[in-house]
Amino acid sequence: MRRPLTLPLVALLALSCSGAQRPRARDPNEPVPVLSICLAGEAAARGSEYSGLAWHGDELFLLPQWSPRGLTRARSQPGFTRPWVYRIPGARLRAWVDGRDRSPITPERVAFDTINLANDPDYQGFEAIAFDGDRAALIVERGDRDRMSGLLVTARLDPARGLVLDRDALALDVPMRSDNHAYEALTRVDGSWLALFELNGMDASCASTALRLDARGGEPSAVAVEPIPYRVTDATTVDAERRFWVTQYSYRDVGDTAECERSIRAVGCFQEAVDCDPREGATRSVERLLELRDDGTAVRATGRMIRLLREERGRNWEGLARLDDRGFLVVTDEWPRTILGFVPSADQPLPPPAPPCPSE
């Protein structure tokens, strides 16, 4: 005959309290706070002006925009010879997110040979980057005000020379004329690059297109995009089901109501309510991640979305990358400051909290 197991009172108390140590469940529909990942050194400076994130193997690359203003600022510094990108080991990022090492991260410089692209009078900077092995593709923004266009340039990652652009470039015509809007997001689907325009469905016809691009040559082919409100600024890699995530924002911290007004005029194009009231400033800024799918004929929203918890000042998220099944890494351009952050997936718990970064 088995005797019933009797536990000491201390053990019973330990069991009853153990739930406090488990990651708390959360409502996937609630806004998610962004965990700041502290950077150190020059990469943490506001002037870095990041515009894209991408993985090369298990290293995360951070792409500065290298706008004309940013280049002028860099050239004024002693010893400047050419631009650069940054990289961070994936293990270091996972250790931060998991709470195992919260010391500031110093990204490593990687030389970036831009073959004098900045000499083009219409050059505005680099907007997106994606890798395919040791090959990369980048989007360059060109033009001014409503005379915008883009370039797709390819590059190779050389162990000795860094990221080296090829001489050839593919011109990207924009689907609509709009003040300072061009192609901002790039991913790879079935061996081709997919470039996404910033605005999708915000004109009288509600129409929008992305471009499918073969780096080996040939004309870009247009791909229909389901109308979606708010700007698209970067894209993750594509999964086995041809799904990927994009960063979106409607930024209202600088007194510019044009973006809100455009969204309101186009509200009949969208399948969702447009959260847009320019009178309320940053408290009404839209910051979110949206999942899309390229089904071969069109790009459509899947219905999955992660809303980011607003702060006192809106954050201009310009870069996005997956972090395994944990969630996503995001980065701002320079507004309100340089922020590298982590956002957990909807089915993942919130990470352990971290103290504010020194720059905050």
How is the chain split into domains, by residue range?
28-344
Alpha-carbon distance of 320 to 236, in angstroms, equals 6
Q: Tell me which residue of 204, 151, 205, 206 sits closest to 174, measured CA to CA.
A: 151
CA distances from 310 to 17, 104, 130, 253, 283 (A): 33, 24, 28, 12, 7
CA distances from 316 to 45, 203, 359 (A): 15, 23, 17
Alpha-carbon distance of 62 to 55, in angstroms, equals 9
Q: What are phi and psi of 74, to 5 degrees?
A: -70, -40
Which pLDDT band, with edges at 50, 70 and 90, does 199 fall under? confident
| Residue 213, CA atoms < 13 Å, CB-side half-sphere | 27
- pTM equals 0.89
Which pLDDT band, with edges at 50, 70 and 90, does 39 fall under? very high
Q: What is the pLDDT of residues 85-127, one digit of tens each?
A: 999 999 999 999 999 999 999 999 999 999 889 999 999 999 9
Ranking 4-13, 83-92, 166-175, 190-199 by mean pLDDT, the lowest is: 4-13
Which distant-in-sequence residues (6+ apart) come within 8 Å of 116 by Cβ?
none
The pLDDT, as a whole number, for residue 144 is: 81
**Residues belonging to the chain:** 360
| Record: fold of 28-344 | Tachylectin-2; Chain A (2.115.10)
Alpha-carbon distance of 14 to 180, in angstroms, equals 59
How is residue 189 annotated by DSSP? E
The pLDDT, as a whole number, for residue 284 is: 63
Buried b (16+ CB within 10 A) or exposed e, 169-200: bbebebbbebeebbbbbbbbbeebbbbbbbbb
Q: What is the pLDDT of residues 222-279, one digit of tens each?
A: 999 998 888 899 999 999 999 999 999 876 544 455 666 666 566 677 777 666 554 5
Tell me the one-letter amino acid at 242.
R
Which distant-in-sequence residues (6+ apart) come within 8 Å of 330 by Cβ?
34, 53, 247, 289, 317, 319, 320, 339, 340, 341, 342, 343
Token digits of residue 276:
């847009």
Average confidence (pLDDT) over 177-188: 90
The pLDDT, as a whole number, for residue 6 is: 42
Portion of the chain with pLDDT greater than 70, in percent: 82
